[in-house]
Chains A and B, each alone.
Chain A
Amino acid sequence: GAGVSQSPRYKVAKRGQDVALRCDPISGHVSLFWYQQALGQGPEFLTYFQNEAQLDKSGLPSDRFFAERPEGSVSTLKIQRTQQEDSAVYLCASSLTYGSYEQYFGPGTRLTVT
């Protein structure tokens, strides 16, 4: 079956622009996660949804970052007024049930802020 998909795969934004990154989880997966991966580092947690409820947003670095999953499937991560330090790969992962630690990742969106 289809895995987690993300779009766009690559995004170049000028500093100050707003961007929206999309994640389509595996069909039927209840939990959805966003992670940020800087070059040469492991992914770092940003936020987590169970269905449409955002249960943890403790990893969002500032109030410029906002995520939603209004119908409990597709999710969007929005970054307002992008800064150079936002340049990273943004990974989306999903898992089948709440409480499952087996997370399946998408290919990521590589964001470059110039």
Chain B
Amino acid sequence: QKEVEQDPGPLSVPEGAIVSLNCTYSNSAFQYFMWYRQYSRKGPELLMYTYSSGNKEDGRFTAQVDKSSKYISLFIRDSQPSDSATYLCAMSAEEYGNKLVFGAGTILRVKS
């Protein structure tokens, strides 16, 4: 079993929809949670960074962390075709040094 599980999709939604992307994890020591967006043949781009539990909002993006359930989410409001990409969750803990443990990524397609 992988430390971080992420549904690979693809997830296909119409333009303007609210998108929910999720990851589950097994190591309760994880405290630092990131979401990256990766376009085809590009490097991952940091979207959101959250420490411990709670919500964080940035524009159309909201990240949620539920440590009791070992579950994190990224919500995208008013989705646009330009949001079509692979979304990677990543996490870490002090015992890992600074290395990130990634999920496999969810492919999102927003149709106009």
Contacts and interface: CB of A to CB of B under 8 A. Distances in A.
A56 B96 CA distance: 10
Interface string A87-100: 00001000100111
A33 B104 contact: no
A35 B57 CA distance: 28
A100 B88 contact: no
Contact of B104 (A42, A45, A99): A42
B100 interface: yes
Given A91-B44, A108-B43, A101 B49 contact: yes
B32 A101 contact: yes
Nearest to B92: A101
A107 B98 contact: no
Interface in A58-114: 59, 91, 95, 98-108, 110
Q: How large is the interface on B (under 10, 10 to 19, 20 to 34, 35 or more residues)?
A: 20 to 34
Contact of A95 (B36, B41, B98, B103): B98
A105 B4 CA distance: 20
B101 interface: yes
Contact of B99 (A41, A45, A99, A107): A45
A108 B36 CA distance: 15
A51 interface: no
Nearest to A45: B99
B102 A101 contact: no
A33 B90 CA distance: 14
B8 to A, nearest CB: 7
Interface of B: 4, 6, 8, 32, 34, 36, 41-46, 49, 88, 90, 92, 97-105
Interface of A: 4, 31, 33, 35, 40-45, 48, 55-56, 59, 91, 95, 98-108, 110
